[in-house]
Amino acid sequence: MGLIVTFSMYPIRQKAYELFLRPRRRREDAEVDSQFSHVKIFDGEFSPYLWPCVAFWVFDRVVTLFRLAYLNYKVLGLKEIQSRATYSDETNLITLDVFPSSNPLAKGGAHYYVYFPTLWRGWENHPFTVAEWSSSSSQTSTVAVDARVQQDAVGIKETADKSPTSVATTTALSSSSSDQLPAQQHCLRFLIRPKTGITAHVHKKILRAGGVLHMKVLVEGPYGDTAALHASDNVLLVAGGSGITSILSYLQDLAGRPVSHAEAVQRKVHVVWAVPEEAFASELLGGSLGRYLEGRQGYSADIFITKTSSASSSSRPATLYGKAEAAREAFRLHYGVRPDIAAVIRDKVIRNGDRSCVLVCGAASMADDTRKTVAALAGEGCDVGYFEERFGW
């Protein structure tokens, strides 16, 4: 038990997740076996107290196998059902599109355990937060899977009339193709920053495959609770770097919930995102983030690009605004500075009035600043709630 607790500590999980994950199952099994060995001298007097532990252990394994089979039975049985992974040097992100066999029941802030049976140890899984999803049986989804990516998933050759731009893009979820879904109807999108272990291994495989990698991927989930942001009139979403992944899932969750016209007009949603890479901001403004800002009353964003590039300060905003021309009135760009979290939260909460909530997904310092500010506002009598999403594993 001491070893399980020690290897579960966050610094170890962060630096060497495989070291935490790989021996964990074996340690759990050895723990149960050692308990039976320990009470063996009592001729079975205490064994009835241990069998419930075995029952829970077996139940956990059975449920896990059932969830895997439910979401992946087509993937396990058909070679042509494959996921698609791409990598961008500019953003340093892997975009992984997984096509489950059944409705993945995705929700805001949910994470899935992802298996790479053909690339990595098939029994190991790694948690990733879902950024976007699509399901034909869901009435709340605001995006659908692009037909081109779906054709890639089932092994259909792309048609010759695709333009080079559409072939090269990594934005696979698009509302424009919602009426042309092929047989494969469900999709989960993950944005993954390669570091060590499995993410570094997948990164190398993508580069060796020429930038696009097709492979079998299994998913298990969803896990995690969804913050009740929809109960507030004023929603502030704070993200740092790849923490925008969780924010995107909540934007889709909010946009997909049925609300009355009065509620839609009243609700204000503001995103504060600090991101080092200008290319990352450009990609999302031209894709999923731009779609949520476009044409939605009350939706806005402040994007802080903390690393400056060699381009002139006048041309950079023009390039990014061009990526999201339809949504340019809804967001502001800030270069070379970090957001004053306390000032932004105070301004939005006090200006927009009652029933506010703040959700943060970012580095520890960003989460600390957000938490302190919300606590201070609550102490001053403001009706404001606080939610925090895990930034790292």
Q: Work out the angle at residue 304's Cα, subtended by the Cα atoms of residues 298 and 309, and round it to the nearest 5 degrees.
A: 140
| Side chain identity, residue 317 | P
Residue 309: the pLDDT is 57
pTM score, whole prediction: 0.79
Residue 253: the pLDDT is 93
Q: Using alpha carbons, select from 67, 60, 71 the residue that is nearest to residue 28.
A: 60
Q: Using alpha carbons, select from 342, 279, 266 the residue that is nearest to residue 309.
A: 279
| Side chain identity, residue 255 | A
Residue 297: the pLDDT is 82
Q: Kindly give the parts of the chain with pLDDT less than 70.
A: 1-4, 7-8, 10-28, 78-80, 120, 136-184, 260-265, 309-328, 392-393
Q: What is the DSSP letter of 145?
A: B
**CA 343 to centroid of chain Cα atoms:** 27
Q: Quote the CA–CA distance of 181 and 136 in Å, as a whole number.
A: 8
Residue 147: the pLDDT is 40
Q: What is the DSSP letter of 390?
A: -
Residue 241: the pLDDT is 92
Collapsing DSSP states into helix, strand and coil, what is residue 20?
A: helix
Give first-to-last CA distance, the chain, whole Å: 21
Residue 173: the pLDDT is 44
Q: Using alpha carbons, select from 87, 309, 118 the residue that is nearest to residue 193.
A: 87
Tokens 């790479």, residue? 116
Q: What is the DSSP letter of 29?
A: H
Q: Which helix (H) or strand (E) holds 12?
A: helix 10-15
Q: Using alpha carbons, select from 221, 225, 220, 216 the residue that is nearest to residue 250.
A: 225
Q: Using alpha carbons, select from 340, 347, 390 the residue that is nearest to residue 370.
A: 340
